[in-house]
Amino acid sequence: MKIIRETDENYPEKLRQIYGRPAKLYIEGNTNILNSKSIAIIGSRNCSKYGMEVAYKFGYGLAQKGITVISGLARGIDAYSHWGVVKAKGKAIAVLGSGLNNIYPRENVKLYNEIIKNGGAVITEYESNAKPDKIHFPARNRIISALSDGILVVEARRKSGTLITVDFGLEHGKDIFCIPGNITSDNSYSTNELIKQGAIPVTCVDDLLF
């Protein structure tokens, strides 16, 4: 495990640009990718099969293009996007809402190991033994947003926690991209609403390249 403090030269430049940046980061893996060109892929934990397939496809496709994929190692969209990256042998950054000794959820420990193995990084602002307290997750979303060059929302229900990351993204001046969804699907309610509000609809990886 490495620790990078705000006063260190290798503290991620993207994090220096935001208000309320973490004073230090605990990192497993490759610190060199923290300033790389990147897209955050976010969405529902209880995602649909459509969401799973899309998250995996975009994770895989972005990794093939040499883009780092950032997410939160949560169930659902986060995990499927990172499994796509792993399959493509690409680089991923997972931002935790717990300490590195408490990978959450436990079912994603294998994914955590694969991210590290493929030259990615798992990072957190919390001490090593910190538990996955529910108040940590909204806070970690500002780091996901800050490190990204754009945010892709795959699926999000009405009042989804995913919208917290979107709000941080708007505050940070990030482009917000959304996958259009079935208008009868609860999982696509907020993605379709965000598109109506000005988010950029995307249907292929090339729509995200800039």
Domains of the chain plus CATH, in order, are 2-7+23-208 (3.40.50.450)
Write down the mean pLDDT value for the chain. Answer: 96
Average pLDDT of the residues in 48-56: 97
Instruction: Give the pLDDT band (50/70/90) at residue 79.
Output: very high
* Of the candidates 182, 183, 186, 168, the residue with the CA atom closest to the CA atom of residue 18: 168
pTM above 0.85, yes or no: yes
Start-to-end C-alpha separation, the chain: 33
Residue 210 has pLDDT above 80, yes or no: no
The two three-digit tokens of residue 43, written as one number: 């969405």
Run of H or E residues at 94: strand 92-95
Using 50, 70 and 90 to split pLDDT, how confident is the model at 91?
very high
Task: Return the SS3 of 171.
Answer: helix
